[in-house]
Structure 1
Amino acid sequence: MVKKLLPIVMLAVLSGCSGGLSNASEDDQKEYILTQLNDYQGLIEIYRKKLSLQDNVDDRYHLSMLYNKIGDYNSSNIYLKPLVESNGDTKYSLLQAKNLIELGNESDARDILDNLISKDEANGELWNLQGIMLAQQGRYSDAMRSFEKARGLFYNEEIVINNIAMMEILQQDYVNARDNLLSLYVRKKYRSQTVYNLVYSLVKIGDYGSARKILVSEKMILSDADELISSLAKLSPREQVQLNVQNNSKWVKKDSQIDEKSGSHNESSLPVSVNKSLSEQHAANIAPAPAPAPAVASKQCDLAENQNDKVLPFKGKIANAKSIAILTSASITNGDRLALYSSYPINFMLLPKLYDNQIELELFSVQPLNSIFDSQLAIMNKRPDVKKIEFINKGDGNTILRIITARCIKSESIKRTTTTGKNKEKILIDFTYE
């Protein structure tokens, strides 16, 4: 992909920068191009090479940032550790705390943040990050106080108000959530996350008309707006916060841009949904409430449509994506298990449940290897209750994993864990049937 784009990019450099790189070395030109393409894997190789020749603080920190951006938080902390131990710069400890939160190590992250805040109480970013950590632990009232503190210290208004609204949604204070989000919306200070949360809040207070108008005006719906509104009205916020952002496959995500300077996707903002780690969250930061048990089994399921359609191989290619290298299955008590394996940590979000026999996950910056298609077909052939497993390219850098079963799903459990071997990162998807 880089080879195909290189001539175009170089033309842009020459015409747009008036020969700004004409005196740069070949390595510098390559780094510039990879930066414009957000090719973090390529940049990692460049910085590893630089550091192998001469270790230095700036390049080591930059390498740590790159590992953070691809979701390899362990590697980020490994290269960051000498900087944290030998230098008191807040940015090193701040990145370390972010990595620890993503890894679920809130205890060590809390110690770091408490120490940083004690030294710099006027730093709004620190208070905002502390709020995210507390939210991930389910301590919503404490998280709210941290976010309010960040707001009072003039931290990024869009981020912190979204985070405050997320806490209000999780505590079912939909009126205040609506008011906070409207303050951003009417001033045009919003991204898709703001609108997802706003629409959800409007639906929960019964203002379907306003929700419908926003969905239509923002062109955020690909199917019938009333159908989505009806589904949202039945959903309850999840009790646990995830630290990554994105949206339901039925919505059109309008902004997946990366911050030009930091290269991060709203890393200081709560996800639009809440489960993980923050990864939480697509469709208004919400996740589905457990569906009421049907009186009789599967005949009363709200079945996913077109479940007999032929499964097709993954289409397209996602630039710089981490790979799902292995897909396996197993039987569990009254249910089935799928396991995704990768050499890198995979961030994900459980999407709202629109049908009783369907599970959808959004996988961030991930795509399956071609060989996975054979595994999909083999599992569907082996396990009669698993009718469909498909990976769908969203077109915004993320992938939807959709699982459709022949029976009502009673419960599901999705968790990220580790194992031994090359593909040490694993996502376990367990689901039981009615």
Structure 2
Amino acid sequence: MLSGCNNMQSMDDKSLSYKEDILLSAKNYNGLIDLYRGWLKQKEDPKIRYKLANYYYLVGDSKSSLYYLQPLMEKPDDTIYLLQIKNLIALKEYDKAIRTAEMLLQRSPESSDAYNLKGVALAESGRLTDGKAAIERSRELFIADDVAINNLAMIAIIDNRYDDSVRLLLPQYLRGRKGDRLLHNLVFSLVKVGDTRYARDIIESEKLSDNPDGIIEALNQVNNISNSKGRDNG
């Protein structure tokens, strides 16, 4: 009987893994949320709960993400703290995000991700110099260059230093880095420095829009980029 129960459990785990793979390949995050909710309804599993909270964050529902993450805060590890900070930033609760990042850095002083997120929260709360210093520290601790450079460019954009943003992002683009946030920030910065020709070339070559002139005209009228799209939480 015990052997039979174990086999059934194994089959359940395999079934979950199989469904996960299918939904992940399709980037069906809402399907993953439904899958994990169904699993947790049957039994509690901290790993599944974390995945559920993470996908709620990825679909933009940070309040639900924090709600389902809360039971894990009784014994948090670094990944749980990081997800909490990301959600707090998304909800514009910057002071809470900064305090949580500082708590994480007390237990993991060399966490590049914690410094990066602290820098983002500081910058978006208006403390640009402190935010830049925290992100530069994350780079010293070898966070991915793409993440650090994009966030430093984001700070330059907030500060209306569009030339500095272009100087940071253009070498990355020419090296073949073409993430959505980088392209978004680079095109915006090029438009703001008046290089609409190059901005149009990137929009067309990267197939960002069928109407490059419309995008450029719209960006010209934006006072500042949306931080929620421009930052990189790693």
Bucket of the pairwise TM-score, normalised by the shorter protein: 0.7 to 0.9
Query: Partner residue of 2:95?
Result: 107
Counterpart residue identity of residue 18, structure 2 = Q
Contact 1:159–1:268 (Cα < 8 Å) also in 2? yes
In the alignment, does 2:32 pair up with 1:67?
A: no
Query: Partner residue of 1:49?
Result: 38
Q: Deviations over 1:36-84 (max 9, x none)?
A: 3333333333323332333232222222222222333223222222221
Query: 1:236 and 1:26, CA in 2 relative to 1: closer, same or farther beyond 3 A?
Result: closer
Quote the Cα distance in structure 1 between the aligned partners of 2:56 and 2:218: 38
Contact 1:177–1:198 (Cα < 8 Å) also in 2? yes
Identity of aligned residues (%): 33
After TM superposition, the score normalised by the length of structure 2 is: 0.80
Unmatched 5+ stretches in structure 2:
1-10
Deviation (angstroms), 1:116: 0.8
Query: Partner residue of 2:133?
Result: 145
Query: Partner residue of 2:228?
Result: 243
In the alignment, does 2:143 pair up with 1:155?
A: yes
Query: Partner residue of 2:4?
Result: none
Counterpart residue identity of residue 202, structure 1 = L
Contact 1:123–1:153 (Cα < 8 Å) also in 2? yes
Query: Partner residue of 2:65?
Result: 76
In the alignment, does 2:115 pair up with 1:127?
A: yes
Instruction: Write out aligned runs for 1:249-268 (5 A).
Output: 268=233
Q: Say which SS state the counterpart of residue 177 (structure 2) adopts.
A: coil
Quote the Cα distance in structure 2 between the aligned partners of 1:203 and 1:28: 45
Quote the Cα distance in structure 2 between the aligned partners of 1:155 and 1:60: 26
Query: 1:35 and 1:152, CA in 2 relative to 1: closer, same or farther beyond 3 A?
Result: same
Quote the Cα distance in structure 2 between the aligned partners of 1:29 and 1:147: 38
Contact 2:147–2:232 (Cα < 8 Å) also in 1? no
Quote the Cα distance in structure 2 between the aligned partners of 1:50 and 1:24: 10
Contact 1:132–1:243 (Cα < 8 Å) also in 2? no
Quote the Cα distance in structure 1 between the aligned partners of 2:34 and 2:196: 51
Instruction: Write out aligned runs for 1:323-402 (5 A).
Output: none
Quote the Cα distance in structure 2 between the aligned partners of 1:219 and 1:39: 23
Deviation (angstroms), 1:147: 1.6
Q: Deviations over 1:90-138 (max 9, x none)?
A: 1112112222222232232222111111222321111111122123212
Contact 2:57–2:87 (Cα < 8 Å) also in 1? yes
Deviation (angstroms), 1:235: 4.1
Query: 1:208 and 1:124, CA in 2 relative to 1: closer, same or farther beyond 3 A?
Result: same
After TM superposition, the score normalised by the length of structure 1 is: 0.46
Query: 1:210 and 1:125, CA in 2 relative to 1: closer, same or farther beyond 3 A?
Result: same
User: What number of residue pairs does the alignment pair up?
Assistant: 224
In the alignment, does 2:178 pair up with 1:178?
A: no
Counterpart residue identity of residue 227, structure 2 = Q
Instruction: Write out aligned runs for 1:15-34 (5 A).
Output: 25-34=14-23
Query: Partner residue of 2:195?
Result: 207
Quote the Cα distance in structure 1 between the aligned partners of 2:216 and 2:29: 38
RMSD: 2.9
Contact 2:33–2:56 (Cα < 8 Å) also in 1? yes
